[in-house]
Structure 1
Protein backbone atom coordinates (compact mmCIF):
# COMPACT_ATOMS: atom_id res chain seq x y z
CA UNK A 1 0.00 0.00 0.00
CA UNK A 2 1.40 3.38 -1.02
CA UNK A 3 1.48 6.18 1.58
CA UNK A 4 -1.86 8.02 1.44
CA UNK A 5 -0.31 11.49 1.04
CA UNK A 6 1.36 10.26 -2.16
CA UNK A 7 -1.96 9.31 -3.73
CA UNK A 8 -4.26 12.02 -2.34
CA UNK A 9 -5.53 15.08 -4.15
CA UNK A 10 -3.92 18.48 -3.52
CA UNK A 11 -6.60 19.41 -0.96
CA UNK A 12 -5.53 16.48 1.21
CA UNK A 13 -1.89 17.50 1.46
CA UNK A 14 -2.20 20.48 3.78
CA UNK A 15 -4.22 18.69 6.52
CA UNK A 16 -1.61 15.93 6.53
CA UNK A 17 1.25 18.38 6.97
CA UNK A 18 -0.66 20.30 9.66
CA UNK A 19 -1.05 17.08 11.67
CA UNK A 20 2.59 16.26 11.04
CA UNK A 21 3.88 19.63 12.27
CA UNK A 22 1.73 19.48 15.39
CA UNK A 23 3.32 16.14 16.21
CA UNK A 24 6.90 17.11 15.46
CA UNK A 25 6.80 20.63 16.96
CA UNK A 26 4.78 19.97 20.12
CA UNK A 27 6.70 21.93 22.82
CA UNK A 28 5.20 19.86 25.64
CA UNK A 29 6.53 16.53 24.38
CA UNK A 30 10.17 15.43 24.34
CA UNK A 31 11.76 14.78 20.94
CA UNK A 32 12.10 11.05 21.60
CA UNK A 33 8.37 10.72 22.23
CA UNK A 34 7.56 12.82 19.17
CA UNK A 35 9.65 10.50 17.01
CA UNK A 36 7.91 7.47 18.50
CA UNK A 37 4.55 9.09 17.69
CA UNK A 38 5.76 9.71 14.15
CA UNK A 39 6.83 6.08 13.81
CA UNK A 40 3.47 4.87 15.12
CA UNK A 41 1.52 6.90 12.55
CA UNK A 42 3.82 6.46 9.58
CA UNK A 43 4.47 2.72 9.83
CA UNK A 44 0.77 2.27 9.16
CA UNK A 45 0.89 4.77 6.30
CA UNK A 46 3.89 3.07 4.69
CA UNK A 47 2.39 -0.39 5.30
CA UNK A 48 5.52 -1.41 7.21
CA UNK A 49 5.37 -2.62 10.78
CA UNK A 50 8.73 -1.40 12.14
CA UNK A 51 10.77 1.80 12.17
CA UNK A 52 14.01 2.87 13.79
CA UNK A 53 16.55 5.63 14.29
CA UNK A 54 20.09 4.30 14.37
CA UNK A 55 23.56 5.60 15.18
CA UNK A 56 26.42 4.37 13.02
CA UNK A 57 30.04 4.32 14.20
CA UNK A 58 32.31 4.14 11.19
CA UNK A 59 35.41 3.56 13.34
CA UNK A 60 34.05 0.42 14.99
CA UNK A 61 31.90 -0.39 11.94
CA UNK A 62 28.83 -0.96 14.09
CA UNK A 63 25.22 0.19 14.05
CA UNK A 64 23.20 0.79 17.21
CA UNK A 65 19.41 1.16 17.12
CA UNK A 66 18.57 4.10 19.39
CA UNK A 67 14.79 4.07 18.94
CA UNK A 68 12.90 1.06 17.64
CA UNK A 69 9.16 0.93 17.00
CA UNK A 70 7.31 -2.28 16.21
CA UNK A 71 7.77 -6.02 16.72
CA UNK A 72 11.05 -7.53 15.55
CA UNK A 73 13.26 -10.11 17.23
CA UNK A 74 16.59 -8.71 16.04
CA UNK A 75 15.97 -4.95 16.05
CA UNK A 76 16.76 -4.25 19.70
CA UNK A 77 17.35 -0.79 21.15
CA UNK A 78 20.96 -0.01 22.09
CA UNK A 79 22.25 -3.38 20.91
CA UNK A 80 25.12 -2.85 18.42
CA UNK A 81 25.28 -4.99 15.30
CA UNK A 82 28.05 -5.21 12.69
CA UNK A 83 27.49 -2.63 9.99
CA UNK A 84 28.45 -5.26 7.43
CA UNK A 85 25.22 -7.12 8.29
CA UNK A 86 22.98 -4.08 7.90
CA UNK A 87 20.91 -2.78 5.00
CA UNK A 88 22.01 0.69 6.10
CA UNK A 89 25.60 0.07 5.02
CA UNK A 90 24.37 0.62 1.46
CA UNK A 91 22.08 3.50 2.38
CA UNK A 92 24.91 5.63 3.76
CA UNK A 93 26.99 5.11 0.62
CA UNK A 94 24.13 5.71 -1.80
CA UNK A 95 24.71 8.93 -3.82
CA UNK A 96 21.26 10.19 -2.84
CA UNK A 97 21.55 8.98 0.76
CA UNK A 98 18.26 7.09 0.51
CA UNK A 99 17.59 3.46 -0.37
CA UNK A 100 14.37 1.53 -0.96
CA UNK A 101 13.76 -2.20 -1.19
CA UNK A 102 10.18 -3.19 -2.00
CA UNK A 103 10.78 -6.96 -2.13
CA UNK A 104 14.22 -8.16 -1.04
CA UNK A 105 13.89 -11.62 -2.57
CA UNK A 106 12.72 -10.30 -5.92
CA UNK A 107 15.52 -7.74 -5.91
CA UNK A 108 18.39 -10.15 -5.27
CA UNK A 109 18.99 -9.77 -1.52
CA UNK A 110 18.47 -13.42 -0.62
CA UNK A 111 22.18 -14.15 -0.04
CA UNK A 112 23.05 -10.74 1.38
CA UNK A 113 24.23 -10.66 5.04
CA UNK A 114 21.60 -8.02 5.82
CA UNK A 115 18.73 -10.24 4.72
CA UNK A 116 20.25 -13.29 6.40
CA UNK A 117 20.57 -11.36 9.68
CA UNK A 118 17.32 -9.40 9.80
CA UNK A 119 15.01 -11.16 7.34
CA UNK A 120 13.57 -7.88 6.11
CA UNK A 121 11.66 -8.10 2.83
CA UNK A 122 10.98 -4.36 2.56
CA UNK A 123 13.14 -1.42 3.61
CA UNK A 124 13.02 2.36 3.21
CA UNK A 125 15.90 4.24 4.83
CA UNK A 126 17.77 7.52 4.61
CA UNK A 127 20.90 9.09 6.06
CA UNK A 128 20.87 11.29 9.16
CA UNK A 129 23.72 13.80 9.38
CA UNK A 130 24.65 16.31 12.09
CA UNK A 131 27.04 19.16 11.31
CA UNK A 132 27.68 17.57 7.91
CA UNK A 133 28.88 14.37 9.59
CA UNK A 134 27.14 11.01 9.35
CA UNK A 135 25.08 10.26 12.46
CA UNK A 136 23.08 7.23 11.37
CA UNK A 137 19.87 6.35 9.56
CA UNK A 138 16.10 6.72 9.82
CA UNK A 139 14.28 3.69 8.43
CA UNK A 140 10.93 1.94 7.94
CA UNK A 141 11.09 -1.84 7.50
CA UNK A 142 9.01 -5.02 7.41
CA UNK A 143 9.57 -8.75 7.16
CA UNK A 144 6.90 -8.80 4.44
CA UNK A 145 7.30 -7.29 0.98
CA UNK A 146 5.40 -4.19 -0.03
CA UNK A 147 2.26 -4.80 -2.08
CA UNK A 148 3.17 -1.79 -4.21
CA UNK A 149 6.72 -0.64 -5.04
CA UNK A 150 8.11 2.19 -2.93
CA UNK A 151 7.96 5.37 -5.00
CA UNK A 152 9.98 8.59 -5.12
CA UNK A 153 7.41 10.60 -3.15
CA UNK A 154 7.65 8.12 -0.28
CA UNK A 155 11.43 8.47 -0.39
CA UNK A 156 11.00 12.24 -0.18
CA UNK A 157 8.79 11.87 2.89
CA UNK A 158 11.41 9.82 4.75
CA UNK A 159 14.07 12.36 3.80
CA UNK A 160 11.83 15.07 5.24
CA UNK A 161 11.51 13.20 8.55
CA UNK A 162 15.29 12.82 8.62
CA UNK A 163 15.70 16.58 8.19
CA UNK A 164 13.49 17.15 11.23
CA UNK A 165 15.68 14.77 13.25
CA UNK A 166 18.78 16.64 12.09
CA UNK A 167 17.21 20.00 12.94
CA UNK A 168 16.22 18.78 16.40
CA UNK A 169 19.68 17.41 17.14
CA UNK A 170 21.24 20.69 16.06
CA UNK A 171 19.19 22.81 18.47
CA UNK A 172 19.18 20.72 21.65
CA UNK A 173 22.31 20.77 23.79
CA UNK A 174 21.81 17.26 25.15
CA UNK A 175 21.04 14.08 23.16
CA UNK A 176 17.47 14.56 22.00
CA UNK A 177 16.54 10.97 21.22
CA UNK A 178 18.35 8.82 23.78
CA UNK A 179 16.62 6.97 26.59
CA UNK A 180 18.89 8.54 29.21
CA UNK A 181 17.40 11.97 28.65
CA UNK A 182 15.10 12.78 31.59
CA UNK A 183 15.14 16.57 31.90
CA UNK A 184 12.65 18.93 30.33
CA UNK A 185 13.26 20.35 26.88
CA UNK A 186 15.41 23.45 26.87
CA UNK A 187 16.78 25.61 24.12
CA UNK A 188 14.63 26.34 21.11
CA UNK A 189 11.34 24.75 22.05
CA UNK A 190 8.47 26.17 20.03
CA UNK A 191 5.45 27.56 21.88
CA UNK A 192 1.89 26.55 21.09
CA UNK A 193 1.19 30.12 19.99
CA UNK A 194 4.12 30.01 17.56
CA UNK A 195 2.87 26.72 16.11
CA UNK A 196 -0.61 28.21 15.59
CA UNK A 197 0.93 31.24 13.89
CA UNK A 198 2.99 29.05 11.56
CA UNK A 199 -0.01 26.88 10.70
CA UNK A 200 -2.03 29.99 9.90
CA UNK A 201 0.75 31.28 7.65
CA UNK A 202 1.25 28.01 5.82
CA UNK A 203 -2.40 27.15 5.20
CA UNK A 204 -2.54 29.62 2.29
CA UNK A 205 -0.85 28.61 -0.95
CA UNK A 206 -0.04 32.26 -1.73
CA UNK A 207 1.67 32.77 1.62
CA UNK A 208 3.61 29.53 1.17
CA UNK A 209 4.85 30.79 -2.20
CA UNK A 210 5.90 34.11 -0.63
CA UNK A 211 7.89 32.36 2.11
CA UNK A 212 9.34 29.91 -0.40
CA UNK A 213 10.64 32.83 -2.44
CA UNK A 214 12.78 33.98 0.51
CA UNK A 215 14.52 30.66 1.10
CA UNK A 216 17.23 31.29 -1.47
CA UNK A 217 17.43 35.08 -1.47
CA UNK A 218 17.59 37.97 1.00
CA UNK A 219 14.72 39.81 -0.66
CA UNK A 220 12.38 39.94 -3.63
CA UNK A 221 9.90 42.31 -5.26
CA UNK A 222 6.13 42.09 -5.29
CA UNK A 223 6.32 42.06 -9.08
CA UNK A 224 8.45 38.92 -8.97
CA UNK A 225 5.94 37.28 -6.63
CA UNK A 226 3.10 38.11 -9.01
CA UNK A 227 4.95 36.36 -11.83
CA UNK A 228 5.63 33.37 -9.62
CA UNK A 229 1.98 33.09 -8.63
CA UNK A 230 0.97 33.49 -12.27
CA UNK A 231 -2.65 34.26 -11.42
CA UNK A 232 -4.21 37.62 -12.31
CA UNK A 233 -6.71 37.53 -9.48
CA UNK A 234 -3.95 37.18 -6.86
CA UNK A 235 -2.75 40.80 -7.02
CA UNK A 236 -5.35 42.38 -4.71
CA UNK A 237 -5.22 39.71 -1.95
CA UNK A 238 -1.42 39.64 -2.30
CA UNK A 239 -1.21 43.33 -1.36
CA UNK A 240 -4.12 43.55 1.04
CA UNK A 241 -4.14 40.16 2.76
CA UNK A 242 -1.15 37.87 2.37
CA UNK A 243 1.84 40.23 2.50
CA UNK A 244 0.40 42.28 5.43
CA UNK A 245 -0.43 39.09 7.34
CA UNK A 246 3.11 37.74 7.01
CA UNK A 247 4.53 41.15 7.88
CA UNK A 248 2.37 41.37 11.02
CA UNK A 249 3.60 37.91 12.05
CA UNK A 250 7.16 39.21 11.48
CA UNK A 251 7.99 36.40 9.07
CA UNK A 252 8.71 39.05 6.42
CA UNK A 253 9.63 42.73 6.31
CA UNK A 254 7.70 44.77 3.74
CA UNK A 255 9.18 47.97 2.31
CA UNK A 256 6.22 49.93 0.93
CA UNK A 257 8.41 52.48 -0.84
CA UNK A 258 10.40 49.98 -2.91
CA UNK A 259 7.59 47.42 -2.98
CA UNK A 260 9.95 44.66 -1.86
CA UNK A 261 9.93 42.08 0.91
CA UNK A 262 12.76 40.47 2.86
CA UNK A 263 13.16 37.98 5.71
CA UNK A 264 11.59 39.23 8.91
CA UNK A 265 12.86 38.79 12.49
CA UNK A 266 10.80 35.60 12.95
CA UNK A 267 11.48 34.06 9.54
CA UNK A 268 13.87 31.56 11.13
CA UNK A 269 10.96 30.07 13.12
CA UNK A 270 8.98 29.08 10.05
CA UNK A 271 11.96 28.49 7.74
CA UNK A 272 12.49 24.78 8.60
CA UNK A 273 8.87 23.99 7.75
CA UNK A 274 8.98 25.93 4.50
CA UNK A 275 12.24 24.22 3.58
CA UNK A 276 10.77 20.79 4.27
CA UNK A 277 7.76 21.56 2.12
CA UNK A 278 10.03 22.74 -0.66
CA UNK A 279 12.13 19.59 -0.46
CA UNK A 280 9.00 17.46 -0.66
CA UNK A 281 7.98 19.53 -3.69
CA UNK A 282 4.27 19.38 -3.05
CA UNK A 283 2.70 22.14 -5.10
CA UNK A 284 5.02 25.11 -5.31
CA UNK A 285 5.87 26.42 -8.79
CA UNK A 286 9.49 26.94 -9.77
Structure 2
Protein backbone atom coordinates (compact mmCIF):
# COMPACT_ATOMS: atom_id res chain seq x y z
CA UNK A 1 0.00 0.00 0.00
CA UNK A 2 1.35 3.40 -0.94
CA UNK A 3 1.97 5.62 2.10
CA UNK A 4 0.17 8.96 2.22
CA UNK A 5 3.25 11.02 3.03
CA UNK A 6 4.33 14.34 1.46
CA UNK A 7 7.68 14.67 -0.25
CA UNK A 8 10.73 15.05 1.97
CA UNK A 9 11.65 18.28 0.18
CA UNK A 10 8.28 19.79 0.99
CA UNK A 11 8.59 18.79 4.66
CA UNK A 12 12.12 20.20 4.91
CA UNK A 13 10.99 23.51 3.39
CA UNK A 14 7.98 23.68 5.69
CA UNK A 15 10.08 22.84 8.77
CA UNK A 16 12.60 25.60 8.01
CA UNK A 17 9.88 28.14 7.17
CA UNK A 18 7.99 27.25 10.35
CA UNK A 19 11.04 27.65 12.57
CA UNK A 20 11.91 31.04 11.07
CA UNK A 21 8.38 32.10 10.11
CA UNK A 22 10.06 33.44 7.01
CA UNK A 23 10.39 32.03 3.51
CA UNK A 24 13.46 34.20 2.94
CA UNK A 25 15.38 32.87 5.95
CA UNK A 26 14.26 29.32 5.20
CA UNK A 27 15.61 29.69 1.66
CA UNK A 28 18.94 30.94 3.03
CA UNK A 29 19.19 27.95 5.38
CA UNK A 30 18.36 25.43 2.66
CA UNK A 31 20.34 27.18 -0.09
CA UNK A 32 17.24 27.55 -2.25
CA UNK A 33 15.39 30.47 -3.74
CA UNK A 34 12.49 32.04 -1.87
CA UNK A 35 10.13 31.08 -4.67
CA UNK A 36 11.25 27.44 -4.43
CA UNK A 37 10.44 27.36 -0.69
CA UNK A 38 7.09 29.04 -1.30
CA UNK A 39 6.27 26.56 -4.04
CA UNK A 40 7.07 23.56 -1.83
CA UNK A 41 4.94 24.92 1.01
CA UNK A 42 2.05 25.50 -1.40
CA UNK A 43 2.37 21.92 -2.66
CA UNK A 44 2.30 20.69 0.94
CA UNK A 45 -0.80 22.78 1.73
CA UNK A 46 -2.51 21.38 -1.36
CA UNK A 47 -1.57 17.85 -0.30
CA UNK A 48 -3.01 18.40 3.19
CA UNK A 49 -5.99 20.44 2.08
CA UNK A 50 -5.44 23.18 4.64
CA UNK A 51 -3.47 26.37 5.15
CA UNK A 52 -0.27 26.18 7.19
CA UNK A 53 0.70 29.85 6.93
CA UNK A 54 -1.13 33.15 6.72
CA UNK A 55 0.25 36.32 5.19
CA UNK A 56 1.16 39.23 7.49
CA UNK A 57 2.57 42.69 6.90
CA UNK A 58 5.97 41.35 7.96
CA UNK A 59 5.89 38.07 6.03
CA UNK A 60 4.17 34.86 7.10
CA UNK A 61 2.90 33.38 10.36
CA UNK A 62 1.81 29.85 11.20
CA UNK A 63 -1.88 29.09 11.41
CA UNK A 64 -3.07 27.01 14.42
CA UNK A 65 -2.99 23.93 12.18
CA UNK A 66 0.50 24.92 11.05
CA UNK A 67 1.75 25.20 14.64
CA UNK A 68 0.56 21.70 15.46
CA UNK A 69 1.87 20.18 12.23
CA UNK A 70 5.24 21.94 12.58
CA UNK A 71 5.74 20.40 16.02
CA UNK A 72 5.01 16.91 14.71
CA UNK A 73 7.12 17.30 11.57
CA UNK A 74 10.06 18.74 13.51
CA UNK A 75 10.12 15.80 15.92
CA UNK A 76 10.03 13.26 13.12
CA UNK A 77 12.69 14.98 11.05
CA UNK A 78 14.92 15.09 14.14
CA UNK A 79 14.35 11.38 14.67
CA UNK A 80 15.03 10.59 11.03
CA UNK A 81 18.27 12.56 11.19
CA UNK A 82 19.38 10.72 14.34
CA UNK A 83 18.59 7.34 12.78
CA UNK A 84 20.49 8.28 9.63
CA UNK A 85 23.57 9.38 11.57
CA UNK A 86 23.44 6.23 13.69
CA UNK A 87 23.27 4.05 10.58
CA UNK A 88 26.16 5.92 8.94
CA UNK A 89 28.42 5.55 11.99
CA UNK A 90 27.40 1.99 12.76
CA UNK A 91 28.16 0.76 9.23
CA UNK A 92 25.85 -2.21 9.55
CA UNK A 93 27.11 -3.61 12.89
CA UNK A 94 26.15 -3.25 16.55
CA UNK A 95 23.37 -0.89 17.45
CA UNK A 96 22.37 2.20 19.36
CA UNK A 97 20.11 2.93 22.32
CA UNK A 98 18.36 6.16 23.16
CA UNK A 99 17.76 6.35 26.90
CA UNK A 100 15.53 8.62 28.91
CA UNK A 101 17.09 9.04 32.34
CA UNK A 102 16.65 10.97 35.54
CA UNK A 103 19.52 13.46 35.28
CA UNK A 104 21.52 12.99 38.49
CA UNK A 105 21.41 9.19 38.26
CA UNK A 106 22.61 9.41 34.66
CA UNK A 107 25.40 11.86 35.49
CA UNK A 108 26.68 10.35 38.73
CA UNK A 109 25.95 6.63 38.35
CA UNK A 110 25.43 5.58 34.72
CA UNK A 111 27.89 7.69 32.73
CA UNK A 112 30.96 6.88 34.91
CA UNK A 113 30.28 3.18 34.20
CA UNK A 114 29.76 3.43 30.44
CA UNK A 115 33.44 2.80 29.77
CA UNK A 116 32.93 -0.80 30.89
CA UNK A 117 30.02 -1.12 28.45
CA UNK A 118 32.26 0.18 25.66
CA UNK A 119 34.92 -2.38 26.55
CA UNK A 120 32.46 -5.26 26.44
CA UNK A 121 30.29 -4.03 23.57
CA UNK A 122 32.27 -1.47 21.53
CA UNK A 123 29.61 -1.61 18.81
CA UNK A 124 26.86 -0.20 21.08
CA UNK A 125 26.27 3.56 21.11
CA UNK A 126 24.21 5.04 23.94
CA UNK A 127 22.39 8.37 23.63
CA UNK A 128 20.98 9.91 26.81
CA UNK A 129 18.27 12.54 27.26
CA UNK A 130 16.70 13.57 30.55
CA UNK A 131 13.18 12.65 31.58
CA UNK A 132 11.87 12.59 35.13
CA UNK A 133 8.31 11.40 34.57
CA UNK A 134 6.66 8.44 32.81
CA UNK A 135 5.81 8.78 29.11
CA UNK A 136 4.46 6.67 26.27
CA UNK A 137 7.28 4.98 24.37
CA UNK A 138 5.16 4.98 21.21
CA UNK A 139 5.19 8.80 21.21
CA UNK A 140 8.98 9.13 21.55
CA UNK A 141 12.22 7.84 20.07
CA UNK A 142 13.33 6.33 23.40
CA UNK A 143 14.26 2.65 23.59
CA UNK A 144 14.42 2.48 27.38
CA UNK A 145 14.33 4.63 30.50
CA UNK A 146 16.28 4.79 33.75
CA UNK A 147 13.65 5.90 36.21
CA UNK A 148 13.28 6.39 39.94
CA UNK A 149 9.90 5.88 41.53
CA UNK A 150 7.76 3.88 43.91
CA UNK A 151 6.55 0.37 43.06
CA UNK A 152 3.05 1.78 42.54
CA UNK A 153 4.30 4.39 40.06
CA UNK A 154 6.14 1.70 38.12
CA UNK A 155 3.12 -0.61 38.05
CA UNK A 156 0.99 2.23 36.70
CA UNK A 157 3.33 2.92 33.76
CA UNK A 158 1.32 1.32 30.94
CA UNK A 159 2.82 -0.98 28.34
CA UNK A 160 6.19 -1.39 30.02
CA UNK A 161 8.47 -3.90 31.66
CA UNK A 162 10.32 -2.81 34.83
CA UNK A 163 13.60 -4.32 36.05
CA UNK A 164 14.58 -3.03 39.48
CA UNK A 165 18.23 -2.05 39.66
CA UNK A 166 18.83 -0.42 43.03
CA UNK A 167 16.96 0.55 46.16
CA UNK A 168 17.39 4.08 47.41
CA UNK A 169 18.88 4.88 50.81
CA UNK A 170 19.09 8.54 51.81
CA UNK A 171 21.55 10.03 54.27
CA UNK A 172 22.16 13.62 55.52
CA UNK A 173 25.32 15.17 54.05
CA UNK A 174 26.99 18.57 54.20
CA UNK A 175 30.34 20.25 53.66
CA UNK A 176 33.17 19.54 56.16
CA UNK A 177 33.16 23.24 57.07
CA UNK A 178 29.57 23.03 58.28
CA UNK A 179 30.56 20.22 60.65
CA UNK A 180 33.00 22.58 62.40
CA UNK A 181 35.32 19.76 63.40
CA UNK A 182 32.62 17.40 64.62
CA UNK A 183 32.65 13.81 63.35
CA UNK A 184 28.86 13.52 63.28
CA UNK A 185 25.69 15.26 64.43
CA UNK A 186 22.65 13.94 66.19
CA UNK A 187 19.27 14.20 64.45
CA UNK A 188 18.28 16.79 67.06
CA UNK A 189 21.33 18.91 66.19
CA UNK A 190 20.61 18.56 62.48
CA UNK A 191 17.14 20.01 63.02
CA UNK A 192 18.78 23.30 64.01
CA UNK A 193 20.79 23.65 60.79
CA UNK A 194 19.65 25.01 57.39
CA UNK A 195 17.94 22.19 55.54
CA UNK A 196 18.22 21.98 51.76
CA UNK A 197 15.05 20.72 50.11
CA UNK A 198 14.37 18.90 46.86
CA UNK A 199 11.28 20.42 45.27
CA UNK A 200 10.05 17.10 43.86
CA UNK A 201 10.26 15.47 47.31
CA UNK A 202 8.94 18.10 49.71
CA UNK A 203 8.27 15.56 52.48
CA UNK A 204 11.78 14.07 52.48
CA UNK A 205 13.18 15.75 55.56
CA UNK A 206 9.96 15.37 57.54
CA UNK A 207 9.95 11.63 56.83
CA UNK A 208 13.58 11.35 57.93
CA UNK A 209 13.05 13.22 61.21
CA UNK A 210 9.88 11.24 61.91
CA UNK A 211 11.84 8.00 61.43
CA UNK A 212 14.45 9.31 63.89
CA UNK A 213 11.78 10.23 66.44
CA UNK A 214 12.85 13.87 66.47
CA UNK A 215 10.65 16.97 66.37
CA UNK A 216 11.79 19.28 63.57
CA UNK A 217 9.53 22.34 63.13
CA UNK A 218 11.64 23.51 60.17
CA UNK A 219 11.59 20.17 58.32
CA UNK A 220 9.64 21.68 55.44
CA UNK A 221 11.60 24.93 55.33
CA UNK A 222 14.74 25.93 53.49
CA UNK A 223 15.74 26.61 49.88
CA UNK A 224 14.38 24.22 47.28
CA UNK A 225 16.22 22.72 44.32
CA UNK A 226 14.75 20.55 41.60
CA UNK A 227 17.65 18.14 41.04
CA UNK A 228 19.85 16.11 43.37
CA UNK A 229 22.88 17.47 41.51
CA UNK A 230 21.81 21.00 42.52
CA UNK A 231 21.42 19.86 46.13
CA UNK A 232 24.91 18.36 46.11
CA UNK A 233 26.49 21.55 44.78
CA UNK A 234 24.58 23.68 47.30
CA UNK A 235 25.73 21.42 50.13
CA UNK A 236 29.39 21.53 49.03
CA UNK A 237 29.17 25.33 49.16
CA UNK A 238 28.12 25.27 52.83
CA UNK A 239 24.50 26.34 52.22
CA UNK A 240 23.06 23.65 54.46
CA UNK A 241 22.46 19.94 54.95
CA UNK A 242 21.08 17.86 52.08
CA UNK A 243 19.26 14.54 52.25
CA UNK A 244 20.84 12.55 49.42
CA UNK A 245 20.89 9.00 48.07
CA UNK A 246 24.35 7.73 48.99
CA UNK A 247 24.88 6.13 45.57
CA UNK A 248 24.57 9.52 43.84
CA UNK A 249 27.30 11.24 45.86
CA UNK A 250 30.00 8.57 45.99
CA UNK A 251 32.40 10.87 44.16
CA UNK A 252 31.81 13.86 46.42
CA UNK A 253 32.25 11.70 49.52
CA UNK A 254 35.46 10.13 48.18
CA UNK A 255 36.92 13.55 47.36
CA UNK A 256 35.94 14.96 50.76
CA UNK A 257 33.70 17.63 49.27
CA UNK A 258 30.81 16.22 51.28
CA UNK A 259 30.72 14.27 54.52
CA UNK A 260 27.97 12.25 56.15
CA UNK A 261 26.54 14.56 58.81
CA UNK A 262 24.62 11.80 60.57
CA UNK A 263 25.17 8.09 59.85
CA UNK A 264 21.51 7.21 60.36
CA UNK A 265 20.24 6.42 56.88
CA UNK A 266 16.64 5.93 55.81
CA UNK A 267 15.51 3.37 53.27
CA UNK A 268 13.35 5.32 50.86
CA UNK A 269 10.14 4.25 49.19
CA UNK A 270 11.71 4.73 45.76
CA UNK A 271 13.98 2.51 43.73
CA UNK A 272 15.84 2.83 40.44
CA UNK A 273 14.48 0.85 37.51
CA UNK A 274 15.26 0.06 33.90
CA UNK A 275 11.95 0.60 32.07
CA UNK A 276 11.49 -0.88 28.60
CA UNK A 277 8.54 -1.37 26.27
CA UNK A 278 6.71 -4.60 27.07
CA UNK A 279 7.13 -6.35 23.73
CA UNK A 280 7.42 -10.03 22.94
CA UNK A 281 11.00 -9.91 21.67
CA UNK A 282 13.36 -7.11 22.64
CA UNK A 283 16.09 -6.01 20.20
CA UNK A 284 19.44 -7.68 20.84
CA UNK A 285 21.11 -4.36 21.66
CA UNK A 286 18.54 -3.70 24.41
CA UNK A 287 18.96 -7.22 25.80
CA UNK A 288 22.73 -6.77 25.99
CA UNK A 289 22.36 -3.38 27.67
CA UNK A 290 19.86 -4.78 30.19
CA UNK A 291 22.28 -7.57 31.16
CA UNK A 292 25.15 -5.12 31.54
CA UNK A 293 23.26 -2.54 33.62
CA UNK A 294 21.89 -5.23 35.94
CA UNK A 295 25.44 -6.48 36.52
CA UNK A 296 26.60 -2.93 37.28
CA UNK A 297 23.76 -2.46 39.77
CA UNK A 298 24.71 -5.69 41.54
CA UNK A 299 28.37 -4.65 41.71
CA UNK A 300 27.50 -1.27 43.22
CA UNK A 301 25.72 -2.91 46.17
CA UNK A 302 28.73 -4.99 47.21
Q: Which has the larger radius of gyration?
A: 2
Higher relative contact order (CA 8 A, sep 6+): 2
Q: TM-score, normalised by structure 2?
A: 0.27
Q: TM-score, normalised by structure 1?
A: 0.28
